[in-house]
Structure 1
Amino acid sequence: MPVPASRSVVGRTLLRDRAYEVLRDAIVDGTLAPGEQLREAELQEWIGVSRTPIREALMRLERSGLVVTRPGRSTTVVPLDDARVHDAVPVVAAMHALAARLAAPKLTSAQLERMRAANEEFADALARGDVDAALAADDVLHDVVIEAAANAALRDTLEQYSPLLRRAERARFRDPAATTVLSSDLHDQLIDALAAGDAERAAIAALATWESL
């Protein structure tokens, strides 16, 4: 028979996504520390969802390398693993290069302006030493390109591996001197290439931006 149109299916999807996003962000920003046990009952109470969305979220987090589950025992936040981070960097860089190549002929002037504004906030946040705000602005800038690229496989790949890199960045940037490695100049090069509609130059700039991490 046809798949029934059910309101509960939509609700469950939203709850699953909410649970995943809350847990992902808490691991990335250090609220949930490496080695911390994640107990389903406590997570249900904290996030306000049932067991099923929690379990689905934990499965996604395990695929991203943020938690490890030992069947019948426990789920814990994994320590940062340099090898996994190093493996993820070229994958994420390649996906952003592809996004830039796909987006170059599509970006509107309004989208380019959003990128410029985000880069200004990025530079200002770094000058203030506000790493959280800098990374948030960085996300806004690159999300414009990903949105314009409109490629579901690309987006899914980035969703899996980007949190691992963000977590490593935040850990590294606890040292204020480390923020000097970030530069809005690479963003400017990317934006200029996209504004010119130069897909190859934009891809090279995007690749350089992420490989610089």
Structure 2
Amino acid sequence: MVPVSRVLLRDQALQLIRDAIVSGELAPGAMVKDAELAARLGLSVAPVRTALGRLADEGLVEAKPQSHTRVTPLVLRQVRDAAVVVRAMHELAVRTAAGRVTGDDVAAMRAANGRFADALAADDLPAALAADDELHRVLLDRCGNAAVTATVERFTPAVRRLERQRFAAAHGRESVALHDRLIAACAAGDVEDAVTTTTEIWTALLSELEETPDAR
């Protein structure tokens, strides 16, 4: 992690600490001290404490008063539960958005899927997951439901944390094709096919999680 500018300190601290947890830089079970994190980020302790409180709400850290704060272990049941919620929210977003997409939306999704495929070919998992998020964000934005977006943002990091450790190349290649199908359905205004494809995208991930042992 690198120091951040003094703009929106709480939000920047939140994003950087969350990214460090999702990437594994802050490993499952690692003890977290707000003063040490603040020094590493070049911040005061206050925005870091606020960020850690938000991350506790998201289930990425756990705090015991007067004791310690640590990165939560990876518990597959909890990750699966989060993935089920994320799938449902994306299904709802697509049901609302698929009939409303613009030509610019379709172009943005196609470009994101191209970056996703290129990142997979380069074995660049962080870039692949970022491109995947960008693609689905188009539909979240077009949906316009703040509660749906907030729920996706709340639970997706738990899923991504596991994917960063155990992402299968075969799953990624399948996702490229499913993304193409989703984009085509949205371009055609075929809401039902768009929703069905979204379900397949997330069900494939859930199936992969079902085959993964717990990691603590």
TM superposition score normalised by structure 2: 0.87
Cross-structure match for 1:78: 72
- Equivalences for residues 1-213 of structure 1 within 5 A: 14-173=8-167, 178-182=168-172, 183=174, 184-213=176-205
The number of residues matched between the two structures is 199
Distance 2:12 2:118 in 1: 30
Q: Which runs of 5+ in 2 are unaligned?
A: 1-5, 206-216
Q: Percent identity at matched positions?
A: 49
Distance 2:68 2:8 in 1: 25
Distance 2:29 2:84 in 1: 27
Distance 1:198 1:63 in 2: 37
Distance 1:207 1:94 in 2: 8
| Deviation for aligned residue 1:59 | 1.4
Please give the secondary structure, in 2, of the residue aligned with 1:105: coil
What amino acid maps onto 2:23 in structure 1? D
What amino acid maps onto 2:188 in structure 1? A
TM superposition score normalised by structure 1: 0.88
Distance 1:86 1:99 in 2: 20
What amino acid maps onto 1:179 in structure 2? A
Please give the secondary structure, in 2, of the residue aligned with 1:80: coil
| Deviation for aligned residue 1:52 | 2.4
What amino acid maps onto 1:186 in structure 2? L
| Deviation for aligned residue 1:34 | 1.4
What amino acid maps onto 2:147 in structure 1? A
| Deviation for aligned residue 1:107 | 1.4
After superposition, the CA RMSD in angstroms is 1.7
Q: Which deviations, in whole Å up to 9, do the C-alpha atoms of 1:16-48 show, x marking residues without a partner?
A: 111110100000001111121111111111223
Q: Which deviations, in whole Å up to 9, do the C-alpha atoms of 1:77-112 show, x marking residues without a partner?
A: 112110101111111001111111111122110111
| Deviation for aligned residue 1:207 | 1.6
Specify whether residues 13 and 151 from structure 1 end up closer, same or farther in structure 2 by C-alpha distance, changes over 3 A only.
farther
